[in-house]
């Protein structure tokens, strides 16, 4: 249990740090979000798939034998991973790593709405409370309580909320293929597929960029630390302590992004931002709480 908690904490922390690395690259080198997301997805996917091929080549290739599985994989790659990664990085570009990470954790609210729709039921009382907290926290982050002035840019708010919606797609779409093939194989393929599609849409080969040693270190950090290691550690944590505990512990991501952003980039984060942070993050714990019989 202790080992699982520590590994999951590290995975969530690495996710938060990678967001701040992205903010550093945007602020210092003015990188294009589509280019950065494409590079992150393709190279992380290659590393993950290489690991899968070394472990079990036959199983890694078997996903292509079933048309329904291939369809779900492509759907997960584009609507899940590509949408999630691009909207999150764009939210960082227009705001900061902390705000983007917090708004991404609106995804339980979208999943809750989906569940109510599928089950044809009204939200429970605690779910309505979470909706109120989520809207209230988002409002505070965007306006600092002043309805006449937006502190957060419209683009930052828009892409942050989209990142939350995309994260819910990311959670719901691959359930069947991940149960069948494990998490690494579908994610590795989806990273490459989504990265290639995004690169073609954005024609990233025409995008010019200029990086020094620190820029390349930041790029490698996002790919290796913030994607490959973070995701692998989270999956190890799921195996050791279960998906519910792992998902709650991995919610350390916004906290690590905030601390890293303040200490490294010296970006401001006020007390009223903390209030919005707490309101949104509390929805995760409320929705996951179940009374013992």
Alpha-carbon span 258 to 250, nearest angstrom: 14
Helix 253-260 to helix 97-104 angle, to the nearest 10 degrees? 170
Distance (Å, rounded) from C-alpha 7 to C-alpha 259? 19
Structure tokens at 282: 């509390």
The answer to whether residue 115 sits within a structural domain is no
As for how many domains the chain has, the answer is 1
Q: Going by C-beta distance under 8 Å and a sequence separation of 6 or more, which residues neighbour residue 284?
A: 105, 108, 247, 248, 251
Residues of the chain with pLDDT under 70: 243-244, 290-293
CA distance 249 to 9: 6
The pLDDT score that the predictor gives to residue 53 is: 94
Structure token pair of residue 270: 């006020």
Question: Residue 18: its pLDDT value, please?
Answer: 92
Q: Whole-angstrom Cα distance, residue 291 to residue 206?
A: 55
> Does residue 138 sit within a domain?
no
Going by C-alpha positions, the residue among 151, 22, 157, 35 that lies closest to residue 93 is 22
Domain-located, residue 109 = no
What is the domain range of residue 181?
2-101+155-266
The Cα–Cα gap between 260 and 41 comes to 23
Domain assignment present for residue 278? The answer is: no
Helices (H) and strands (E) in the chain, counts: 16, 0
At residue 293, the pLDDT reads: 45
**Domain presence at residue 167:** yes
Report pLDDT for 290. Answer: 67
d(CA 259, CA 23): 13
What pLDDT is recorded for position 242? Answer: 74
275 in any annotated domain: no
d(CA 12, CA 272): 24
pTM: 0.90
In a domain, 163, yes or no: yes
| The two three-digit tokens of residue 159, written as one number | 């892409």
Query: Is the separation of the CB atoms in 265 and 23 below 8 Å?
Result: yes
* 38 in any annotated domain: yes
Cα 110 to Cα 191: distance, rounded to the nearest angstrom: 23
């Amino acid at each position: 249990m202790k080992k699982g908690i520590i590994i999951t904490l590290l995975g969530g922390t690495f996710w938060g740090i990678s967001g701040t690395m992205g903010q550093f690259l945007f602020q210092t080198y003015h990188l294009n979000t589509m280019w950065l997301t494409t590079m992150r997805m393709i190279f992380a996917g290659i590393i993950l798939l290489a690991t899968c091929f070394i472990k079990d080549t036959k199983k890694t290739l078997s996903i292509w034998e079933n048309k329904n599985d291939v369809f779900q994989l492509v759907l997960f790659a584009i609507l899940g991973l590509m949408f999630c990664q691009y909207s999150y990085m764009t939210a960082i570009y227009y705001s900061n790593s902390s705000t983007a990470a917090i708004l991404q954790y609106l995804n339980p609210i979208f999943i809750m709405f989906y569940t109510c729709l599928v089950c044809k039921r009204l939200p429970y009382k605690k779910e309505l409370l979470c909706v109120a907290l989520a809207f209230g926290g988002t409002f505070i982050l965007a306006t600092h309580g002043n309805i006449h002035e937006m502190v957060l840019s419209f683009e930052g708010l828009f892409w942050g909320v989209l990142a939350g919606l995309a994260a819910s797609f990311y959670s719901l779409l691959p359930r069947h293929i991940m149960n069948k093939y494990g998490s690494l194989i579908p994610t590795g393929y989806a990273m490459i597929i989504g990265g290639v599609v995004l690169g073609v849409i954005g024609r990233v080969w025409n995008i010019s960029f200029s990086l020094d040693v620190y820029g390349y270190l930041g790029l490698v950090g996002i790919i290796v630390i913030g994607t490959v290691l973070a995701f692998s550690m989270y999956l190890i944590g799921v195996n050791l302590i279960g998906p519910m505990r792992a998902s709650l512990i991995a919610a350390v991501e916004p906290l690590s992004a905030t601390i890293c952003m303040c200490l490294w980039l010296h970006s401001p984060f006020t007390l009223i931002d903390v209030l919005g942070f707490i309101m949104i993050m509390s929805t995760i714990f409320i929705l996951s709480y179940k009374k013992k019989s």
